[in-house]
Structure 1
Amino acid sequence: MRKHYLFILLCVFTLLTNCAGGDDPAIASENVGPAVVKTGKLTGKVMSQNGTKPVGGASVFTFDDKYKIYYTTSDADGNFTLVAPAGSRTIHIQTGNGTNFRTEISATVKDSETVNLDASQTKLNQVAKIAYVKGAYDKIEDIIQTLGYTATEITNADLVNLTNIAQYDIIFLNCGSRNNYSSNNPGLYTVIENNLAAFVANGGSIYASDWDVSYLVGGTSNTNNCSLPGGFIPDTKLCSKNIGNSGTVAATVTNPGLTTALGFNTLDINYDLGVWQKIINYDPTYWEVLVKETSSNDALMIRTNHFTATNIPTISIGNASNSTFVTVCITLPGNIQISISVPQVLVPYLVALGATVGPCSGSSNSGYIYYTTFHNHASGNIGNAGVILQYVILNL
């Protein structure tokens, strides 16, 4: 009986030993699943520098320890909710591709909790140096100031000197500024156009409204045909004639990012001058239409970053030489591509994950050119068009 008892104990001991032995790799692998990423939420409201205007359509993102991006955008009221990996993170807030307006925030993301960022943290900072040429019918500098940003007034005489304008990142050309320029030397117009071409080709961005399309396509004031001498945008890319009639035009916003930023996709634009530049023809592979006339589909606001030209001098524009940020293109789930600016030290790691250096579209060196047939009248109320121009300012 004692032998049977000892035998039973030995069997039980052997069975327990085999069950507790965790050295079998096959059994161990069956019980190991993917690591669970701990995440929390950050909420906030993106505001302009002076804290008075919400900024819609801003990119808000961060990275985990393996450089995976966590990304969202602010709505028309500036509100955002970012799901992010738990831990100490740098949160980036940017508009456009992040080269001209951006903010970085240090924040602690708590697992399964929501942390609200203070409004003082989420103001969008101005990185760019901005200049404007005073116009007769346009005052975009007023809109810049209402957002809390600063711009330096320059003249056409400054545009003649490439070194002068190369210190800026963005130049706004107010309607009427070109025909305000009195010069007895027509050759100076060619110098200005060549300088603007060099400015854009090296990464600078410009905005022109209404009659100041002449800076782009030629002419000395308003354009009246498609074959005017001068300009740095080929006539095959853009034709604008001074034949628009005064009145209210029903318009449609055609760019999804602009629609998100605005919170609407239709508006009435008041053309309160007697005549304005009407876009007759444009190259759709070169220009993107952001706003069009609803009934006719005529383009009212266009932009491009496809500018290239030969024999252009290579120059450093604005803050480029001092910047430690690099523009990259990242593909999000759903094959959505975004252009953002990131610290240079992150670039090799992001490229290893599939990112590419440079913007997602356009020429790698080209800045943006925005052209609007409408503008900020010095003596009129432009309504919702003013909100669109705020978008233009922040996305150049």
Structure 2
Amino acid sequence: MKKFNLLFIFIVLLSLGACRSESDTSAEMTVDHTVKTGKVTGKVMSQNGVNPIGGASVFTFDDKYKIYYTTSDADGNFTLEAPVGIHTIHIQTGNGSNFRTEISATVKNNETLSLDAAQTKLNQVAKIAYVKGSYDKIEDIILSLGYTATEITNNDLTSLPTLAQYDIIFLNCGSRNNYSSNPALYAAAEANLAIFVANGGSIYASDWDVSYLVGGTSNTSTCAPAGGFVPDSKLCSKNIGNSGNVGATVTNAGLTTALGFNTLNINYDLGAWQKIITYDPAYWEVLVKETSSNDALMIRTNHFSVTGLPTIPIGNAPTTTFTTVCITLPGNIQISLSVPQAIVPYLIALGATVGPCSGAANSGYIYYTTFHNHASGNIGNSGVILKYVILNL
């Protein structure tokens, strides 16, 4: 009986010892949930490695798909706090659908990783085309950044399969020539441009080429002229602008960050230019205005939507592995970014939504500037603005 009691006591003591040992082990294995981070620095450059790019989105995700985000300053410089580990660093302008770069980087705790300038060049994903003009050569700026664009004609605009090859179309001032000899050609071009934008393509029109948007001949002198595809109630522009320097104010925060300034002089060195008379502020966003009069000088929209238009794939859309999503940052700041399709469900679970943060669901952007890069002449700081337009379409 005594032996039994001793054996029982030994077993109980052994059990207590085992419990204590397990408890000690679990205490030693307590996980530190503090996120360890390092820094990633670099300078966003255009493809030619010469022009710094301000206002670019720079971001990455941790293993739980939390976003780490910053933007480049006017000189292209950025510092991104990023989680420790091997991550993809994304660099994008606009919503990332047309210009973006991805870099694999190993981030170490409390260390700074400096990316080489060759890594941080912004790549062109978009297929870009332009229609040659008489007073404007946006293609010169595109090429000066190290990017490529294909010249097309007004006849090409009448072919939807041709138009659909591209993501961005630039309409140079003065390209809408000989309108009276072939109005049917321009009517067909406008109809196709409507389909192009409604399906996600983006266009930029400068000065007189507002007539592609609202109608008219080579320029417009009345509100609601015949033709065009933007509703007359949304925009009226008349060819009554006078030559000279105009003091201007940048009214968009993102553009101000990209430029590094918010006031400038724009030199209108031609005899007349399209002055914006009225616009729908719910439809258009004003990016630059005349300081003294508050007249809009540069506007954009992604609210274009028309029922009954055909649905067609545009540009690189059929082959892309990226999706545009809207992510909300701390401070309730919303940003539109392009992310790999594989991570979209995880981002949605964290509150992201598919599509841009504003505008019509499938609409591309329409940019319109009353100024342009003159085929000859001085445009001053507005040239920097046009670089922003190119990269943010």
Q: What TM-score, normalized by structure 1, do the two folds share?
A: 0.92
Residue deviations 1:296-316 (CA, integer Å, cap 9, x gap):
000000000000012211111
Residue deviations 1:328-360 (CA, integer Å, cap 9, x gap):
000001101000000100101110111000000
Please tell me whether residue 265 in structure 1 is matched to residue 262 in structure 2. yes
Please tell me whether residue 98 in structure 1 is matched to residue 96 in structure 2. yes
Please tell me whether residue 345 in structure 1 is matched to residue 316 in structure 2. no
The correspondence for 1:385, drawn from 366, 382, 387, is 382
The correspondence for 2:122, drawn from 117, 121, 124, is 124
Is the 1:156–1:181 contact (alpha carbons within 8 Å) kept by the matching residues of 2? Answer: no
Aligned to 2:234: 237
The Cα shift of 1:183 comes to: 6.2
Is the 2:180–2:217 contact (alpha carbons within 8 Å) kept by the matching residues of 1? Answer: no
- Relative distance call for 1:295 and 1:183 in structure 2 (3 A) is closer
Distance 1:145 1:160 in 2: 26
Residue deviations 1:126-166 (CA, integer Å, cap 9, x gap):
00000000001000000000000000000001001111110
Please tell me whether residue 220 in structure 1 is matched to residue 217 in structure 2. yes
Unaligned runs of 5+ in 2: 1-12
The correspondence for 1:69, drawn from 67, 70, 73, is 67
SS in 2 for 1:236: helix
Aligned to 2:154: 156
Aligned to 2:362: 365
The Cα shift of 1:227 comes to: 1.9
Please tell me whether residue 54 in structure 1 is matched to residue 68 in structure 2. no
Is the 2:198–2:363 contact (alpha carbons within 8 Å) kept by the matching residues of 1? Answer: yes
The Cα shift of 1:256 comes to: 0.1
SS in 1 for 2:69: strand
Distance 2:182 2:55 in 1: 44
SS in 2 for 1:348: helix
Aligned to 2:85: 87
Residue deviations 1:214-269 (CA, integer Å, cap 9, x gap):
00000111100102011101111000001101000000000000000000000000
Is the 2:53–2:75 contact (alpha carbons within 8 Å) kept by the matching residues of 1? Answer: yes
- Amino-acid identity (%): 80
Distance 2:18 2:87 in 1: 46
- Relative distance call for 1:57 and 1:309 in structure 2 (3 A) is same
Amino acid across the alignment from 1:41: K
Amino acid across the alignment from 2:54: G
Is the 2:154–2:185 contact (alpha carbons within 8 Å) kept by the matching residues of 1? Answer: no
The correspondence for 1:135, drawn from 121, 133, 136, is 133
The Cα shift of 1:184 comes to: 3.2
The correspondence for 1:168, drawn from 166, 176, 181, is 166
Unaligned runs of 5+ in 1: 1-12
The correspondence for 1:318, drawn from 305, 315, 330, is 315
Residue deviations 1:270-307 (CA, integer Å, cap 9, x gap):
00001100000000000000000001000000000000
Amino acid across the alignment from 2:299: I
Q: How many residues align?
A: 380
Distance 1:383 1:297 in 2: 20
Aligned to 1:37: 35
The Cα shift of 1:22 comes to: 6.6
Aligned to 1:111: 109
Is the 1:97–1:341 contact (alpha carbons within 8 Å) kept by the matching residues of 2? Answer: yes
Aligned to 2:8: none
The Cα shift of 1:21 comes to: 6.7
Distance 2:56 2:133 in 1: 29
Is the 1:59–1:73 contact (alpha carbons within 8 Å) kept by the matching residues of 2? Answer: yes
Q: How does 1:165-204 map to 2 (within 5 A)?
A: 165-178=163-176, 180-181=177-178, 184-204=181-201
Distance 1:351 1:133 in 2: 39
The Cα shift of 1:185 comes to: 3.3
The Cα shift of 1:381 comes to: 1.5
Distance 1:287 1:34 in 2: 49
For the aligned residue pairs, the C-alpha RMSD in angstroms reads 2.1
Distance 1:246 1:272 in 2: 5
Aligned to 1:280: 277
Distance 1:320 1:293 in 2: 37
Distance 1:171 1:345 in 2: 30
Aligned to 2:333: 336
